[in-house]
Structure 1
Amino acid sequence: MNPALSLQPSALSAVHVTLDDLIAMRLRAHRLERFARRVGGSHAAVHASRFRGRGVDYAESRAYQPGDDIRQMDWRVTARTGRPHTKLFQEERERSVLLVISCNPGMRFGTRVRFKSVQAARTAALIAWAIALSGDRVGAIGYGPGLNAEVKPGGGVRGALRCLRALVEWDGITRGATATVPLSQALQRAQRLARPGTQIILLTDGFDCDAAAEPALSLLANHCDVAAVLLSDAIEHQAPPPARYALQSESGRVMLDFSAQRTRARWPALFDERREQLVGMLKRRALNSAVLDTHAEPEPVLRTLLGFDARRRKAG
């Protein structure tokens, strides 16, 4: 199925990630900057940070309290005093956002306006610009076939541009590939790159989620705020009109018959089931997520994810 390109200025920017397109998102980032500031704080510390976790600069030690991370125990003070003590770290004034972006083959699909891969890159660019404008740092991890790349968090325009150039490069590297890299590998890489308190934003359609992603997500969420933008397409929510459709798959040309009502009714459930594994993992850890369709604009979703702590407040 060919994406509907009538609402796009060019067919190229609908199916491929282009640097011009990503740079243009900067004009829209000012609308999100104040929300990004609520998340990451700023150099002037005008806004209180909503990040959990700790920075990297040691401040002092105090008596252990229930709920403290045992990995931050100060064993020297504990041995000297005979009472358990834990280390405290001074909060960094700069905060980091790490974008974890799926470049798997399943993302190269779309029937409305653009591919999911392009929508993910546009959304990532908008976040990068908003974070750069707020005075904080942004980095990125790309995962997909033949791709094992990352951009360490950096500040300002340079930090944002490094992420944008990487998005374009990663789109080219994975173009035409057929293998799928599991989400767990990306989460494990994020554990090594992200400092405590980093905001992690996943951009994926959820179809690459695997069983090993659950423990990796739990470890990451212990020290970082994790949220997810789940990319989807309109055809994943509603079957196309009754007819026979020719599709090109990895195994060749196939025909899909949507004339049967039973097939049409079952169609959306197939996509929900593929995405449910990741959605379930996020819900079990009270982590925020939102669905973003290929034809929609990302600002409303990002206002939710960047305007509030990624961990939902529980009633009571």
Structure 2
Amino acid sequence: MIFGKQASTTSELVSVSLKTLLDLARPAAGLDLKHSTIRAGQSGGYVSRFKGRGMEFEEARGYQPGDDIRSIDWRVTARTGETHTKVFREERERPVFISVDNRPAMHFATRGVFKSVLAAKLAGLLAWAAQHHGDRIGGQIFTGSVCRELKPQNGKHAVLRFLNAISNQDDDNLLEQATITLEHVLARLMHHARPGSLVYIISDFRGINDQVEAYLAKLSRHCEVVLIFVYDPLESHLPEKGRYRFTDDKRDVVIDTGDRQRLLKYQQHFTRRLNQAEQIAKKMGLAFIQCSTIDDPIQRLR
């Protein structure tokens, strides 16, 4: 049994509180939402290489010589009997869409904080940074059985809505049969992230496959995509031979690492997953960030 301050400290390692996410507002102020890709020094500021106007409809006016015929407003033209064209203005606020993995496998760590806690903190920092830049904040949070989207909105209330959704995840979802796959998540993401959005996907990318790659390719045609790969150090380096105890404050499991072949297979699964995610990012020119459970998320985003 854990008492007092130790219990509070342990709780912060395995779950994230709303207060913790709110406290990230100050350190997030110094973050820049421009990201270099693996392939080149491309940046993703407010001038995008992706398709999509980045423009918002303002009014319809009479057609003038030189106007793009693709902008003709056929409804107004039909109603008035005179040719009208649509006038657009630049959007000053870019939609920032943050997808956060909270599946059961994310509730694990051997050092530092749970991967789920790290993902929540990364998402919180990005949401606050977007708000500081005047962008609209929305997102997607998915467990093993539930996937929820929040439409991008303006202002501090949008950040609070998003952070509330992250911190109020139901632990019962971890015990339900996993039905949400990475393919399913990305298929939904394509419908909710509008063209011109800056999209972050924070995950350990379990279940990455060719279909996931195809969805990312489609998404990256119209959005700027940043992949943030979270992992535990044990996944990348085999532990020393011995017996190790794992706990989630409710259940204890003891694992004997004497079976080196089994551990090697586990590590190979991780390496294959990391390499596949990294290669996809390189091929598509996406920004790719690795962050382990012992890393400072602020420093990694910088």
Normalised by the length of structure 1, the TM-score is 0.73
> Which aligned pairs between 1:242-281 and structure 2 lie closer than 5 A?
242-245=241-244, 256-259=255-258, 267-281=266-280
Q: 1:157 to 1:283 in 2, by over 3 A?
A: same
C-alpha distance after superposition, 1:231-263 (max 9, x if no partner) = 100111111121134668xxx998644336656
Equivalent residue, structure 1, for 2:198? 199
Q: 1:262 to 1:174 in 2, by over 3 A?
A: closer
C-alpha distance after superposition, 1:286-305 (max 9, x if no partner) = 211111001111123322xx
Matched, 1:235 2:234: yes
> Which aligned pairs between 1:145-164 and structure 2 lie closer than 5 A?
145-164=144-163
In 2, Cα distance between equivalents of 1:265 and 1:97:
39
In 2, Cα distance between equivalents of 1:48 and 1:211:
29
Normalised by the length of structure 2, the TM-score is 0.77
Count the aligned residue pairs.
268
In 1, Cα distance between equivalents of 2:105 and 2:67:
48
In 1, Cα distance between equivalents of 2:87 and 2:204:
38
In our comparison, the structure showing a higher alpha carbon Rg is: 2
In 2, Cα distance between equivalents of 1:238 and 1:175:
26
Identity of aligned residues (%): 29
Equivalent residue, structure 2, for 1:96? 95
Equivalent residue, structure 2, for 1:189? 188
Q: 1:138 to 1:276 in 2, by over 3 A?
A: same
In 2, Cα distance between equivalents of 1:14 and 1:239:
22
Judge which range, 209-218 or 192-201, deviates more. 209-218
C-alpha distance after superposition, 1:214-242 (max 9, x if no partner) = 22111111100011110100111111121
Q: 1:119 to 1:247 in 2, by over 3 A?
A: closer
In 2, Cα distance between equivalents of 1:274 and 1:176:
24
Aligned to 1:13, the other structure's residue is in SS state helix
> Which aligned pairs between 1:285-304 and structure 2 lie closer than 5 A?
285-303=284-302
C-alpha distance after superposition, 1:181-237 (max 9, x if no partner) = 211222222222122110010000011324321221111111000111101001111
Matched, 1:215 2:214: yes
Instruction: Answer yes or no: is the 8 Å Cα contact 1:105–1:177 preserved in 2.
Output: no
The amino acid that maps onto 1:273 is: R
Q: CA deviation at 1:97?
A: 0.7
Matched, 1:122 2:121: yes
Aligned to 2:281, the other structure's residue is in SS state helix
Structure 1: 5+ residue runs without aligned partners? 1-5, 40-46, 64-72, 78-86, 304-316
Matched, 1:175 2:145: no
In 2, Cα distance between equivalents of 1:240 and 1:117:
22
In 1, Cα distance between equivalents of 2:164 and 2:195:
26
Q: 1:290 to 1:180 in 2, by over 3 A?
A: farther
C-alpha distance after superposition, 1:115-144 (max 9, x if no partner) = 000100011001111111111111110122
Instruction: Answer yes or no: is the 8 Å Cα contact 1:55–1:89 preserved in 2.
Output: no
Instruction: Answer yes or no: is the 8 Å Cα contact 2:202–2:230 preserved in 1.
Output: yes
Instruction: Please tell me the root mean square deviation across aligned C-alpha atoms, in Å.
Output: 3.4
Q: 1:88 to 1:204 in 2, by over 3 A?
A: farther
